[in-house]
């Protein structure tokens, strides 16, 4: 049996390890006999209740348990939710990484930061090329997205061909390179595709996502209209095409360009080096040179379009940027729409910029990178898969894609709304979820990976809500005699100076509770702590309707 | 001089005490000689950094300092951001409250909760009626908003007439009562208006806000299309007109109606009692009776359209509601748009409802209650004020209204972008900000009003970020001999069991620091605490890149 020719009784497993319960953390394993390949390896950002957490990684227990089978990572594009977990995961599962040139360039920036360039094997794959790995052959197909060099994957398995779109849109007039390779999708579909794993992010939006090029026309109009003021454009660092268009407008209107913000400088540097952006000689200037040009002859391209408080734009707006301050008359273009959850931060930055006298423009200055309903229909109509597995998006988005798939004639039983960890086994004869593997979220806090979990988070939530009250007392080891305390210390509870009465009453409550225990001859410290916790807790709830964390500590002195 | 006839040298003061830096907390004082009247008395909800805070009230120091001058509160409508602070403020400044009938009904619900019905004087004012109070005459003018019985105010002062729109829109085809009294605005404008204080909330939106009635048509269509399923509609409790339209559709399609959610039940109860809603006999049923009717003959009207985790809809979605669970096939209508900041919570509830198999509808099911650009232009064109003071909205919204005012011919110098606390003095001869009075936010946490401030909040933020480590040791009073400890206790930092090494190393660091101090004969406990805090802090930052709060506590034993 030739490996990549479908056999009627062969069955391949599709195992999403992240990305289905939340935006981000995209990672899907494909398994056939002794081979596993993994598509994408993304992180997600903490939700509001993950206090103090910096990043969230997918749990890769299943890969570690099957480490001998794992052959490699195939990465569809260079966004954090598809590559961000790589440095962490490769430390535990060190297998080769395959990606297009810019994607790999961005990955290499990360590997350098983690000092991992030497030990990680990696290979640039061109559109149309394939990689043979274990029982699989993986072909990279050209597609469009809000970052250049995005790829869909055709995964040839003994059970049939699986098409994984990655994040995609169809842009007939892209800025760099060509439109998505619709012909290849059609060709694959004509020959027969087992399953389509398709991006659902915009599946609740009607119509067709506009071309990136439409934003360029908006920029041209804004540049023409605001020819007397400095222009500052904030956008996503990774949107190289967007930056290209800002540079095009700048050149057209004779402005010098400054690129500012660490991640923006990094990615544009990589894009220039690899030939993904075209900047005419003499256009870019250093931020230090800005003062040598009149305002109306300059453009700043910067990070911070999501209102991130530490990004360059925010620092400019609050005048804590080392080099640039917003001044009255500046034109500031926010070239992005708020990612859900960032709306208030974006509103805040617009207010701050407006207060500094800037003219803030945020309409028609962005297009999405994800396929809307008509593009999803187009993809299904080209690929015509036997099975549909909506990927990438919250439940409601994936459900919407399931509805689209059904409307296009895919039987309901052939559409799989998976959960992370599900093992979907499929072949020409049928498909079903046959198992569940370990999956979940690993929290990164500072340098600690996985040492903060639900109990620690619940403590942080309690502490955040009403603070903490610590009750300390020192007992003699043998006699249980009270040598010192009980003392009360609080943090994050009330202004102690303005609540002297309250704290005195609380102290009396704790003293009574302590003496009650000691006089009754209670020697079990756990019990003493419980009595203190309960009586102080009751008192504070009745008196204040608050529940601070109460932490009794007993010290023991051996006289 | 007749009080309410404008004199050319009289100057009235306008003093916003809240509502300009944030949405909510609306409160504006008007002062002339020995008279102060106050328009609205709202609260706002805590921002993300106000951990553990329940409500935010405006600082009324200025009113308390001038308590003899304060004559009364005039309330424009019954939303929390206009009435919510009343029970707290009236405890300190007990003066009469004037409002329309439904507004006062809703205020009375609050006063009952706070046991304040007896001591607060209040009076229902009809549209077109005036109240004479001190140097002022205040006339209530009919307007439209997302709550019935909203009023604009014409404040006749010795310096001229000031029009305060309150929150408003212009609805030519309202559900209850009549359209805004455009003729009266025009009449006042014709006679001459000194200043217009106008709602800015939607000033960045083009066009004209749709009539509430359009939502009714959507409801009818949805009811017609989903005649086989139970329908659940979530909306704002206070939107009586919206509830009326749901009931209209229910009657038209022969369904019984259950009202669920405490605030919904309260406000609908008040609206029924006062005649603001018309519910045909036999339409309302108790939630207990629901089981006696087929699903397709019932409608639930409920709170929770903003994804509030404790509201009825959320409890139904997660099957913890005592009486109702979402079941496959239910049609759930979210009749609201997310308030900025609530987007993720709303997305979460849509996901949860979809996972339970409900069909969630949220398009064309809501209209705003605030005037868009064309309505603001209409208001300015009727009133034609000498001065413009954009109110209600973030800076960018108010700035947009300032732009509209300017485009309509009001000189830039006559448009005032105020800050809370500003004292804007104006008369026929001119206007200027002449002073600043105390203003700010008073935080309510449980039963405590104002006992949580910046230091406590900063502690809560620190605790939330990386938890707390408490270091306890017992010293002998005179010899400074170490009798017990140092012990380390942490909360919200790491799983101690899985980080044994780390905690052992931390303990060693603390021990070394402590013995260093004691061996050197340091007797200043403050110094010992600092050394412990610094050395442990350095260690944890280097090792973990985390900064938990470190709290050393020294107990003293007198042997």
Residue ranges of A 474-503 with Cβ closer than 8 A to chain B:
474, 483-485, 487, 489, 491-495, 498-499
**At residue B523, does pLDDT exceed 90?**
no
- Structure confidence at residue B4 (pLDDT): 47
**At residue B165, does pLDDT exceed 90?**
yes
Q: How far is Cα A294 from Cα A87, in angstroms, rounded to an integer?
A: 44
**At residue A494, does pLDDT exceed 90?**
no
Residue ranges of A 227-256 with Cβ closer than 8 A to chain B:
none
- Structure confidence at residue B3 (pLDDT): 44
- Chain B residues whose CB is inside 8 A of the A47 CB are 344
pLDDT in tens, A210-238: 999 999 999 999 999 999 999 999 999 99
Q: How far is Cα B410 from Cα B423, in angstroms, rounded to an integer?
A: 21
Domain topology for A467-557: Ubiquitin-like (UB roll) (3.10.20)
Which residues of chain B are in CATH 3.40.50.10710 domains?
213-361
**At residue A4, does pLDDT exceed 60?**
no
Judged by average pLDDT, the poorest of A27-31, A393-397, A506-510, B307-311 is B307-311
The Cα of A386 is separated from the nearest Cα of chain B by a number of Å equal to 24
pLDDT in tens, A336-347: 999 888 898 999
Closest CA to B318 of B262, B287, B359, B356: B356
**At residue A381, does pLDDT exceed 80?**
yes
Which residues of chain A are in CATH 3.40.50.10710 domains?
212-361
- Verify whether residue B451 is a known catalytic residue: no
* Beta strands, E only, A110-150: 122-124, 130-133, 136-142
B177 is in an annotated binding site: no
Closest CA to B41 of B13, B63, B67, B69: B63
Q: How far is Cα B88 from Cα B97, in angstroms, rounded to an integer?
A: 14
Residue ranges of A 172-231 with Cβ closer than 8 A to chain B:
none
**At residue A2, does pLDDT exceed 60?**
no
Nearest to B459 among A461, A465, A467 (CB): A467
The Cα of B544 is separated from the nearest Cα of chain A by a number of Å equal to 5
Nearest to A396 among B351, B446, B465 (CB): B351
- Structure confidence at residue B550 (pLDDT): 96
- Structure confidence at residue B535 (pLDDT): 95
- Structure confidence at residue B7 (pLDDT): 67
For chain B, the average pLDDT equals 93
The Cα of B368 is separated from the nearest Cα of chain A by a number of Å equal to 18
pLDDT in tens, B396-445: 999 999 999 999 999 999 999 999 999 999 999 999 999 999 999 999 98
Which residues of chain A are in CATH 3.60.15.10 domains?
12-208+369-449
Domain topology for B213-361: Rossmann fold (3.40.50)
pLDDT in tens, B102-148: 999 999 999 999 999 999 999 999 999 999 999 999 999 999 999 99
Closest CA to A356 of A304, A315, A322: A315
* Beta strands, E only, B112-235: 122-124, 130-133, 136-142, 151-157, 160-164, 193-199, 231-234
- Structure confidence at residue A6 (pLDDT): 59
Q: How far is Cα A356 from Cα B25, in angstroms, rounded to an integer?
A: 24
**At residue B187, does pLDDT exceed 90?**
yes
Determine whether the interchain pair A465/B52 forms a contact, defined as Cβ–Cβ distance below 8 Å. Answer: yes
- Structure confidence at residue B481 (pLDDT): 86
Determine whether the interchain pair B491/A474 forms a contact, defined as Cβ–Cβ distance below 8 Å. Answer: no
**At residue A5, does pLDDT exceed 60?**
no
**At residue B553, does pLDDT exceed 60?**
yes
Give the CA diameter of chain A. 88
Determine whether the interchain pair A463/B463 forms a contact, defined as Cβ–Cβ distance below 8 Å. Answer: yes
pLDDT band of B2, cuts 50, 70, 90: very low
Phi and psi at residue B486, to the nearest 5°: -70, 135
**At residue B203, does pLDDT exceed 70?**
yes
Q: How far is Cα B221 from Cα B2, in angstroms, rounded to an integer?
A: 57
pLDDT in tens, B299-353: 999 999 999 888 999 999 988 998 999 999 999 999 999 988 889 899 999 999 9
Pairing type for strands A482-491 and A549-557 reads: unpaired
B239 is in an annotated binding site: yes
**Cβ–Cβ < 8 Å for A471, A486:** yes
**At residue A1, does pLDDT exceed 80?**
no
Which residues of chain A are in CATH 3.10.20.580 domains?
467-557
Judge if the upstream peptide bond of residue A343 is cis by omega within 30 degrees of 0.
Answer: no
pLDDT in tens, A110-152: 999 999 999 999 999 999 999 999 999 999 999 999 999 999 9
Determine whether the interchain pair B492/A459 forms a contact, defined as Cβ–Cβ distance below 8 Å. Answer: yes
- Structure confidence at residue B67 (pLDDT): 97
pLDDT in tens, A269-325: 999 999 999 999 999 999 999 999 999 999 999 999 999 888 999 999 988 998 999
The Cα of A134 is separated from the nearest Cα of chain B by a number of Å equal to 37
**Of all residues in chain B, what percent carry a pLDDT higher than 70?**
98
Beta carbons within 10 angstroms of residue A347's beta carbon:
19
- Verify whether residue A397 is a known catalytic residue: no
**Cβ–Cβ < 8 Å for A439, A20:** no
- Structure confidence at residue A3 (pLDDT): 44
- Chain A residues whose CB is inside 8 A of the B467 CB are 52, 456, 459-460, 463
- Structure confidence at residue A476 (pLDDT): 86
8-state DSSP, A493: S
A82 is in an annotated binding site: yes
Beta carbons within 10 angstroms of residue A263's beta carbon:
15
Determine whether the interchain pair B460/A467 forms a contact, defined as Cβ–Cβ distance below 8 Å. Answer: yes
Judge if the upstream peptide bond of residue B31 is cis by omega within 30 degrees of 0.
Answer: no
- Chain A residues whose CB is inside 8 A of the B355 CB are 395
Phi-psi category of residue B480: left, alpha or beta, with phi > 0 → left and psi -120 to 50 → alpha: left
Nearest to A463 among B491, B546, B559 (CB): B491
- B388 DSSP β-pair partners: B196, B415
**At residue B199, does pLDDT exceed 90?**
yes
**Of all residues in chain A, what percent carry a pLDDT higher than 70?**
98
The Cα of A532 is separated from the nearest Cα of chain B by a number of Å equal to 17
Domain A212-361 sits in CATH at 3.40.50.10710
Residues A12-208+369-449: name the CATH superfamily. Answer: Ribonuclease Z/Hydroxyacylglutathione hydrolase-like (3.60.15.10)
Residue among A370, A422, A439, A466 flagged as catalytic? A370
- Structure confidence at residue A48 (pLDDT): 85
CA of B543: which chain A residue's CA is closest?
A447
ipTM for this model: 0.85
DSSP characters for B292-320? GS-GGGEEEEES-TT--TTSHHHHHHTT-
- Structure confidence at residue B84 (pLDDT): 96
């Amino acid at each position: 049996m030739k490996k990549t020719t479908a056999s009627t009784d062969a069955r391949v497993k599709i195992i999403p390890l992240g990305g289905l319960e939340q935006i981000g953390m995209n990672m899907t394993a494909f398994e056939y006999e002794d081979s596993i390949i993994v598509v994408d390896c993304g992180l997600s950002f903490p939700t509001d209740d993950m206090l103090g957490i910096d990043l969230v990684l997918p749990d890769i227990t299943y890969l570690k348990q099957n480490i001998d089978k794992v052959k490699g990572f195939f990465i569809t594009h260079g966004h954090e939710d598809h590559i961000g977990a790589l440095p962490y995961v490769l430390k535990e599962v060190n297998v080769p990484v395959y990606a297009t040139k810019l994607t790999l360039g961005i990955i290499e920036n990360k590997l350098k930061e983690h000092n991992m360039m030497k030990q990680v094997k990696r290979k640039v794959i061109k559109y149309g090329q394939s990689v043979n790995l274990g029982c699989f052959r993986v072909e990279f197909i050209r597609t469009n997205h809000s970052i250049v060099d995005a790829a869909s994957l055709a995964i040839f398995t003994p059970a049939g061909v699986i098409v994984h779109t990655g994040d995609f849109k169809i842009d007939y007039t892209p800025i760099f390179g060509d439109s998505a390779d619709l012909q290849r999708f059609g060709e694959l579909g004509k020959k027969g595709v087992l399953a389509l794993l398709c991006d659902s992010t915009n599946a609740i939006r009607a119509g067709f996502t506009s071309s990136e090029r439409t934003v360029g026309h908006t920029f041209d109009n804004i540049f023409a209209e605001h020819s007397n003021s400095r222009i500052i454009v904030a956008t996503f660092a990774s949107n190289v095409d967007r930056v290209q268009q800002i540079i095009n407008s700048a050149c057209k209107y004779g402005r010098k360009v400054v690129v500012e913000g660490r991640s923006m400088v990094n990615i544009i540097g990589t894009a220039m080096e690899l030939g993904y952006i075209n900047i005419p000689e003499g256009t870019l200037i250093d931020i230090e040179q800005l003062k040598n040009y009149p305002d109306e002859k300059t453009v700043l391209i910067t990070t911070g379009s999501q209102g991130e408080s530490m990004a360059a734009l925010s620092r400019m707006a609050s005048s804590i940027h080392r080099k640039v301050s917003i001044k009255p008359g500046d034109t500031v273009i926010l070239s992005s729409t708020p990612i859900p959850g960032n709306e208030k931060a974006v509103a805040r930055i617009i207010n701050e910029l407006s207060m500094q006298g800037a003219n803030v423009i945020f309409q028609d200055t962005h297009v999405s990178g994800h396929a809307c309903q008509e593009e999803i229909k187009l993809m299904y109509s080209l690929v015509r898969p036997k099975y549909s597995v909506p990927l990438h998006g919250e439940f409601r988005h994936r459900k919407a894609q399931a509805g689209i798939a059904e409307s296009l004639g895919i039987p309901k039983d052939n559409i799989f709304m998976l959960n992370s960890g599900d093992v979907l086994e499929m072949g020409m004869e049928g498909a079903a979820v046959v198992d569940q593997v370990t999956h979940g979220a690993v929290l990164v806090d500072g340098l600690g990976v996985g040492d903060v979990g639900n109990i620690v988070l619940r403590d942080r939530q309690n502490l955040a809500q009403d603070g903490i009250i610590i009750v300390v007392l020192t007992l003699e080891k043998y006699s249980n005699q009270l040598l010192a305390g009980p003392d009360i210390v609080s943090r994050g509870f009330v202004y102690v100076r303005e609540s002297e009465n309250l704290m005195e009453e609380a102290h009396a409550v704790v003293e009574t509770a302590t003496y009650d225990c000691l006089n009754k001859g209670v020697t079990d410290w756990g019990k003493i702590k419980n009595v203190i916790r309960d009586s102080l807790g009751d008192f504070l709830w009745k008196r204040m309707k608050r529940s601070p964390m109460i932490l009794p500590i007993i010290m023991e002195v051996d006289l």
